[in-house]
A and B are shown apart, each in its own frame.
Chain A
Amino acid sequence: MTTTYVERILNPWQEFDRMDRMFNRVARRGNCEFPAVNVWINGGNAEISSEVSGVDPEKLDISVSGNIVTLSGTRPVDEKKEGEFRHRHEIRRGDFSKSVQLPFNIDADKVHASYKNGVLHVSLPQLEAEQPKKIEIKSE
């Protein structure tokens, strides 16, 4: 990915592109966006689990649109107070949002969500109209 000086002058955005790619590569090393999710699928039903400890369930939001479910929320940032010293500061805080695409359209009215011990569980059934129907064959 070497660029000559002339190329860089002609297309300054190329440098930005290159930097963008570099940052993305570094950021994606953890191979997923926060929060991490596990998704189980069984025909017309999906179960999503996500580790979002320390988040007030009131501040968690689940929205459904078509076949996409979005989990978002916020974990309060602790302002550094005077006279304190941070020995470790590893916990991720702030806003987050994550979308997961399912292989079917979700029935938004039948979505159930629960939050326990820092783990969010969401159960998402497929739209009934889309579910396969069994057609009986009459013998004549």
Chain B
Amino acid sequence: MTDTREMKKREEGLEKGVERTRAKRVYTPAVDIIEKKDYIMLLADMPGVDEKSVKVTLEKDVLTIRGNVEPEVHDSHRLAIHEYGIGDYERTFTLSNEIDREHIKASVSDGVLRLTLPKAETARTRHIPITGTA
């Protein structure tokens, strides 16, 4: 039942026992990580972020994605139904050595961060032709 997880935003830190002292809530974005022949594609759902409010950092082999979302304000309205919380996003991944760090690409559209992590030349599968001994 993976569905249950997808329906509710996960709050970062709660499951890892990490306590935060920031006033804002931090959520763990849902991701798709697909490995293709030449690259690894990472899609992260971060509704509310744009290209200015998302940060991707790579330190040693740790890739961190962060997104800032400003809370919604509706003056003189009362919140009648509250099904999701609004806050920042954060998630960390450990990359293997086989990523070509210099050519990582990132873009954001419709609240989805798309990272393209090209595989290093050495890590790509190579087909070695076998020649028969004549």
Q: Chain A: residues with CB nearer than 8 A to chain B?
A: 26-27, 29-34, 36-42, 45-47, 49, 51-57, 78, 81, 83-92, 100, 103, 115, 117-119
Residues 65-92 of B, flagged 1 when their CB comes within 8 A of A and 0 if not, give 0000000101011111111101000000
Inter-subunit contact A54/B45 (CB<8 Å): yes
Query: In the complex, which residue of chain B has the Cβ closest to the Cβ of A86?
Result: B34
- How many residues on B have C-beta within 8 angstroms of the other chain's C-beta atoms? 41
Q: Which one, B45, B50, B77, contacts A41 given CB within 8 A?
A: B77
Q: A32 vs B9: C-alpha distance in the bound complex, in angstroms?
A: 11
Inter-subunit contact A90/B83 (CB<8 Å): no
Q: A91 vs B42: C-alpha distance in the bound complex, in angstroms?
A: 11
Inter-subunit contact B32/A89 (CB<8 Å): yes
Residue B47 at the chain A interface, CB threshold 8 Å:
yes
A-B contact list, 5 entries, CB within 8 Å:
A38-B79, A51-B47, A51-B48, A85-B34, A91-B30
* Contact A53:B46 (CB < 8 A) given known A38-B72, A40-B79, A118-B112: yes
Q: A93 vs B6: C-alpha distance in the bound complex, in angstroms?
A: 10
Q: Which one, B32, B48, B49, B83, contacts A88 given CB within 8 A?
A: B32
Query: In the complex, which residue of chain B has the Cβ closest to the Cβ of A41?
Result: B80
Query: In the complex, which residue of chain A has the Cβ closest to the Cβ of B8?
Result: A30
B3 CB to nearest chain A CB (Å): 6
Interface residues of B in 21-63 (CB under 8 A from A): 30-37, 40, 43, 45-50
Residues of B near A39 (CB, < 8 A) are 79-81
Residue B127 at the chain A interface, CB threshold 8 Å:
no
- Of B4, B7, B82, the most chain A CB neighbours within 10 A belong to B7
Residues of B near A34 (CB, < 8 A) are 6-7
Inter-subunit contact B7/A118 (CB<8 Å): no
- Of A26, A47, A53, the most chain B CB neighbours within 10 A belong to A53
Q: A30 vs B5: C-alpha distance in the bound complex, in angstroms?
A: 7
* Contact A54:B112 (CB < 8 A) given known A38-B84, A40-B78, A86-B34: yes
